[in-house]
Amino acid sequence: MAGDNAVVLSGTGLLDDVVTSLTADGWNVVLPSRRHNPIAARKAGPGRAFWVEAQWERPRDLVRRVERALPGPAGLLVAWVHESYRRSVLGAIESLLATGAPVVEVRASAGVLTSAADATLAAHPTQLVLLGTASERDPSRALSLPEISAAVLDAVRRARRGGPPSLHQVGQRRPVRS
């Protein structure tokens, strides 16, 4: 069933909290990345995580490798992909998504986004998570990985509940100094 399969695209280990949550809820999660992700070896619940070696520079090869590991169409995509690869990687992986499968797209705040209509995959309801450069708790430091993970997990929950496409700012943008 598509609702039980997900693809999480990110740097190795960056979204392990999301993967742990999904596998605990019974999802099978495919994790394409350059380096091995040890979370794939741990049993975190009724679901499983599967790591596949893949590189953003080769989106068609990435899709072939993910497709071999994916038990069926993906009912969810979580993507935190560098801006220079985002369009090619997400465009290629879209062929593996179930019709109308939700997407959680994480982006750096460098781009100007005004609404969820700025999502890369227009055919899929998308929760856009826009990362600020500074923590809301302490503006003198960058966002921490736990802060980012909590925001992405919140967006995943909204996506799984069928929430409407939306844009979520996490952290603050640091002012530009001249």
Looking only at the bridges linking them, the beta strands covering 166-170 and 126-131 are parallel
- Domain boundaries, given as residue ranges, for the chain: 2-170
Do 54 and 35 touch, CB atoms closer than 8 A?
A: no
* Prediction pTM value: 0.90
Q: How many CB atoms neighbour CB 135 within 10 A?
A: 16
pLDDT for residue 171 = 85
pLDDT tens across 64-116, in order? 999 999 989 999 999 999 989 999 999 999 999 999 999 999 998 755 555 56
Type of residue numbered 86: R
Please state which CATH class domain 2-170 belongs to. alpha beta
